[in-house]
Homo-oligomer: A and B are copies of this chain.
Amino acid sequence: MSEYLPGLEGVPATKSNISDIDGEKGILAYRGYPIEQLAEHSNFEETTLLLLDGRLPTADELALFDDQLRKNREIKYQLREIMKNLPATGHPMEMLQTAIAGLGMFYPGNECLTGSELCEDMDYVHNMSVKIIARIATIVAMWEPIRNGYDPIKPRRDLGHAENFLYMFTGEEPDPFIARILDICLVLHAEHTINASTFAALVAGSTLAGPFGVVAAAIGTLSGPLHGGANQRVVEMLGDIRSPDRVEEWVDRKLANKEVIWGMGHREYKVKDPRATILQKLMEKLVEYRGGNISPLFETALALEKAAEQRLSHKGVYANVDFYSGILYAEMGIPTDQFTSVFAMARSAGWLAHWREQLRDNRIFRPTQVYTGEPFRDYVPVEQR
């Protein structure tokens, strides 16, 4: 039996072609392409197809995929009614898990997935991936008006993925500059090797569960504060600090008390997370775009990042992807409790790429345990306890 390593740290759980991290050099690549180049030249639609298919698409392939996404944005009215019956006070990630699981009931699995044979039907796998990736954005956007008591806005086919999301979310014509920032955020969050939610997708997929059940398992896993919930906590923390002049004293107090500063450091990177570097530049561009006119939250974030870097960068601890993405989402008018849902929209691409990969060389996950409980013993009748 292998050694027990808590959290399976350092234990390889799968073989994968999808993404790779060099934590010493601060490199993240999808299918070999560094994230910086994808952020600069690609968009969410192309990056998603790259993750799913393993190669950059031709112009025709990309146009077809983009068209498929646009045509898969609408959801059935029954699902809208389901969403209206969910309490507005619940967490949006629970809503998303509910809606995606429910969506699966409308698309019964094909026989090769529900039978004992592995699914060789790549059309089915592709079509279900398109359905989920397109609709997850619709569902996240619809929830905002629904939970506020208003009818959701219908998706538009003339807008790109990020633009249409912002349009449906805010009800306003999206600002192309802001939409491109969101688009880049989606590219950056689309995939990140075998994190907990992707791992949950592999475990669920390994039983040949259907894609909606697999993605719903991943959403439930992402919802935890130690995983997808961190960017929400960054903005809540900035709200606690309240203003830039309170930052220095706040950071010193936190460090002295050895308390968590949300959005700092990452287990996989010894140097600065490459996604954080990209997001930091986007923040600077956004400040410029707004003519230096920025919110107190944003100002507090800039001050906190500077203060933290002075005190922590010698330990290899820098502001991470969650630190910047939360602030950018807040600047786009997305409420803090919806940040993780936006993360899920992006990560659905990675989950489904891993699901497809798992199906091609499947073995059900059935690890062992170190049993530390009672030895075999006899039952004691209730009157003798």
Does the CB pair B12–A367 fall under 8 Å?
Answer: yes
A248 to B306, CA, bound (A): 77
Count A interface residues, CB 8 Å: 121
A127 within 8 A of B: no
Does the CB pair B206–A196 fall under 8 Å?
Answer: yes
Contacts of A329-379 to chain B: CB distance below 8 A: 361, 363-379
Q: Tell me which residues across on chain B come within 8 A of A196, comparing CB atoms.
A: 203-204, 206-207, 364-366
A282 to B54, CA, bound (A): 52
A152 within 8 A of B: no
Does the CB pair B221–A366 fall under 8 Å?
Answer: no
Contact of A2 among B3, B86, B221 (CB under 8 A): B3
Q: Tell me which residues across on chain B come within 8 A of A122, comparing CB atoms.
A: none
A256 within 8 A of B: no
A7-27: CB near B (< 8 Å → 1, else 0) gives 111111111111110000001
A89-112: CB near B (< 8 Å → 1, else 0) gives 111011101100110111011000
Q: Tell me which residues across on chain B come within 8 A of A369, comparing CB atoms.
A: 12-16, 193-194
> In the complex this chain forms, how many copies of it are found?
2
Q: Tell me which residues across on chain B come within 8 A of A227, comparing CB atoms.
A: 207, 209, 364
A29 within 8 A of B: yes
A56 to B94, CA, bound (A): 34
A58 within 8 A of B: yes
Q: How far is the CB of A105 from chain B (nearest CB, A)?
A: 3
A20 to B8, CA, bound (A): 21
Does the CB pair B367–A97 fall under 8 Å?
Answer: no
Does the CB pair B15–A57 fall under 8 Å?
Answer: no
A267 to B58, CA, bound (A): 45
A263 within 8 A of B: no
Does the CB pair A16–B225 fall under 8 Å?
Answer: no
Contact of A101 among B101, B225, B380 (CB under 8 A): B101
A5 to B199, CA, bound (A): 15
A78 to B87, CA, bound (A): 9
Q: Tell me which residues across on chain B come within 8 A of A56, comparing CB atoms.
A: 379-380, 382, 385
Specify the chain B residue showing the minimal Cβ separation from A218.
B217
Does the CB pair B91–A199 fall under 8 Å?
Answer: no
A148 within 8 A of B: no
A208 within 8 A of B: yes
* With A200-B203, A373-B32 as contacts: A367 and B194 at CB distance below 8 Å: yes
Does the CB pair B7–A363 fall under 8 Å?
Answer: yes
A64 within 8 A of B: no
A308 within 8 A of B: no
9-residue interface stretch from A33-41, A130-138, A283-291, A296-304: A33-41
Supply 6 A–B pairs (Cβ within 8 Å), ascending by A.
A10-B367, A78-B85, A193-B368, A206-B224, A209-B220, A267-B366
Which residues of A does B touch, CB under 8 Å? Answer: 1-20, 27, 29, 31-34, 37-38, 41-42, 46, 54, 56-59, 62, 78-79, 81-82, 85-87, 89-91, 93-95, 97-98, 101-102, 104-106, 108-109, 114-116, 193-197, 199-200, 203-210, 212-214, 216-229, 233, 260, 262, 267, 361, 363-383, 385
